[in-house]
């Protein structure tokens, strides 16, 4: 490497692309080792600028079109991008009780924050509910991230909560009450300082998004409890915490200025 190359700082988009390429190679490599493991499989595709890099890579690759019967997406916008690129898609609503069991070896998506325990905050793009559905249907969540997304503790990035419009008032009231209940459970020290409604935004399921701003960050155990506590409120559809309670990532492809770092649970 010459001095110019050594000093070159990669942009965030470049890092996102590097992460996407790394996951792309990982899947292709596994396929080449054991093609039989991919019989009748679908690929789960997430939402956001990092997921878009992955969509563009697989759309240009005939192998991926052969390996996977179709993509199952976490948003209409990702579906549209795949369709525009002639990659076959299938929607979650195409399945019913008599459908054969669907095999999704991988779900590929970005994150707003991820910790070393592979818990994430997602939902910056508002697609968190379908993201959690497709991720949970998949065997492995491959998280694509540039190094700015890795945090010691989650909670600085506002936590998206998808809420039924008719329950907005109730949910805000119950969330405010959580602050007062803190002493009673393991969430002590966690304070919601502000709740904002995402303006001019409705989800693919016609719901609204509230963003919770916290005074402090939370540890692994607290993240799991918080995920469940918020989801227990009537009218909450889902929240953007992805922990071991629901679906944490299985492999993180972290793109850094010094190359790719893989972090996995195994
Ligand atoms: C969308 C998401 C995205 O994965 C998250 O917001 C990261 O986005 P980007 O890849 O654009 O940085 O959860 O709901």
Query: Are 210 and 198 spatial neighbours (Cβ–Cβ below 8 Å)?
Result: yes
The pLDDT assigned to 183 comes to: 67
Best residue among 12, 17, 112, 238 to mutate for probing ligand 1, ranked by most atoms within 8 Å of CB: 112
Report the percent of the chain where pLDDT is more than 70.
Answer: 96
What is the Cα–Cα distance from 58 to 52, expressed in whole angstroms? 10
Active site residues: 131
Please check the confidence at residue 6 and state whether its pLDDT lies above 90: no
**For 188-216, what is each residue's pLDDT tens digit?**
778 999 999 999 999 999 999 999 999 99
Q: Pick the residue with more confidence: 104 or 99?
A: 104
Please check the confidence at residue 44 and state whether its pLDDT lies above 70: yes
What is the Cα–Cα distance from 198 to 122, expressed in whole angstroms? 15
Taking CA atoms only, the protein residue closest to ligand 1 atom 5 is 111
Give the list of residues 6+ apart from residue 6 with CB closer than 8 angstroms, or none.
none
3-state secondary structure of 187: coil
pLDDT category, 2, cuts 50, 70, 90? low
Please check the confidence at residue 19 and state whether its pLDDT lies above 70: yes
Interval between CA 125 and ligand 1 midpoint (Å): 6
pLDDT category, 264, cuts 50, 70, 90? very high
Best residue among 47, 120, 238, 249 to mutate for probing ligand 1, ranked by most atoms within 8 Å of CB: 47
The pLDDT assigned to 7 comes to: 66
pLDDT category, 90, cuts 50, 70, 90? very high
């Amino acid at each position: 490497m010459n001095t110019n190359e050594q000093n070159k700082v990669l942009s965030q988009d470049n890092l996102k692309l590097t992460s996407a390429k790394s996951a792309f190679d990982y899947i292709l490599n596994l396929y080449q080792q054991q093609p039989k493991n991919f019989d009748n499989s679908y690929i789960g595709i997430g939402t956001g600028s990092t997921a878009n890099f992955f969509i563009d890579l697989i759309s240009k690759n005939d192998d991926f079109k052969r390996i996977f019967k179709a993509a199952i997406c976490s948003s209409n916008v990702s579906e549209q991008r795949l369709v525009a690129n002639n990659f076959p898609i299938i929607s979650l609503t195409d399945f019913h009780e008599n459908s054969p069991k669907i095999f999704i070896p991988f779900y590929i998506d970005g994150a707003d924050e991820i910790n070393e325990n592979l818990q994430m905050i997602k939902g910056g793009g508002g697609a968190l509910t379908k993201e959690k559905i497709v991720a949970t249907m998949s065997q492995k969540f491959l998280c694509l991230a540039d190094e700015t997304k890795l945090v010691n503790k989650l909670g600085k990035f506002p936590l998206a909560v998808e809420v039924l419009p008719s329950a907005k008032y109730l949910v805000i009231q119950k969330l405010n009450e959580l602050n007062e209940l803190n002493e009673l459970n393991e969430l002590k020290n966690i304070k919601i300082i502000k709740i904002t409604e995402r303006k001019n935004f409705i989800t693919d399921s016609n719901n609204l998004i509230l963003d919770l701003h916290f005074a402090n960050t939370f540890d692994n155990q607290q993240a799991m409890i918080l995920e469940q506590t918020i989801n227990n409120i009537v009218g909450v559809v889902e929240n953007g915490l992805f922990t071991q309670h629901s679906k944490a990532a299985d492999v993180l492809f972290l793109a850094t200025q010094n190359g790719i770092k893989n972090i996995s649970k195994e």
